[in-house]
Amino acid sequence: MKTIGYTLAILASSVLASACTDDSTTTNQPPAGATSGNEDTTFDHDNGDYISPWDLLDRLQKEGPPRYTSRVHSCSKVRYKTLGAVLTQLGMTSVTAATPPALSAGDLYKTGFNALGGPNYANRIRENISVTTSGASREFDIFAAGAQEVIDAFASTTSTIATRCPGASLFDTSNTCQPAGIACITGIPTNDPQMGHWLSYCNLTVSMASDVTVGKRLAVAEMLSAAYTCE
């Protein structure tokens, strides 16, 4: 009995001794060469960036919890009915036409009801207020198709734009973008500090297009897209 006990003690001691040694060798090493990396060839994760709990608490008290800020600072799309009113006010008469021309702004607006997330009250489905790829794409197409209608509306004395923004012009005789016209279609005040950027991009688009007519249409479509979407 004592012999068995001594044997078990010796075996246990040998297992513990082998577990406490650092003599184990690892043969699974990556080969030397271009496939191995170092601090100069791989991304160095900086683990030193952290936020103090007190700074985090101060930020939460000022900005609110994430579930609140994600809703306040998120961007929802323009509702379908509101978009139709905006297009009409911009001078896109095809939107109110009973049978709008094919591929016009009005045609794309009316046939894009589902893509734009319009409500289906008969089936108790509310309007989708989130920006989707299909909805944003259709909205961009509408702005591009109706850009010429907006340009023509500024030249008319009876258009909705002439009534809403009397005396405003979008382009002068030398095809230069005008602050009053940009403010009329985007809602950006003429004295806004960002108006200079809007003018620069507008004139750059017109000057770099294949011709002036195309440049004007592109400029109007770009400004409308920037003003009425999250872009």
pLDDT at 47: 63
pLDDT at 44: 62
Question: Could you tell me the pTM of the whole model?
Answer: 0.68
Query: How far is the C-alpha of 192 from the C-alpha of 147, rounded, in Å?
Result: 24
Supply angle C-alpha 183, 215, 105, rounded to 5: 70
pLDDT at 4: 53
pLDDT at 13: 54
For residue 120, give the 3-state DSSP assignment: strand
Residues of the chain with pLDDT under 70: 1-49, 70-71, 73-74, 230-231
Query: How far is the C-alpha of 158 from the C-alpha of 150, rounded, in Å?
Result: 13
Tokens at 179, concatenated: 């602050």
Query: How far is the C-alpha of 153 from the C-alpha of 95, rounded, in Å?
Result: 14
Tokens at 115, concatenated: 């893509």
Tokens at 19, concatenated: 């577990």
To 10 degrees, what angle do helices 212-228 and 133-145 make?
140
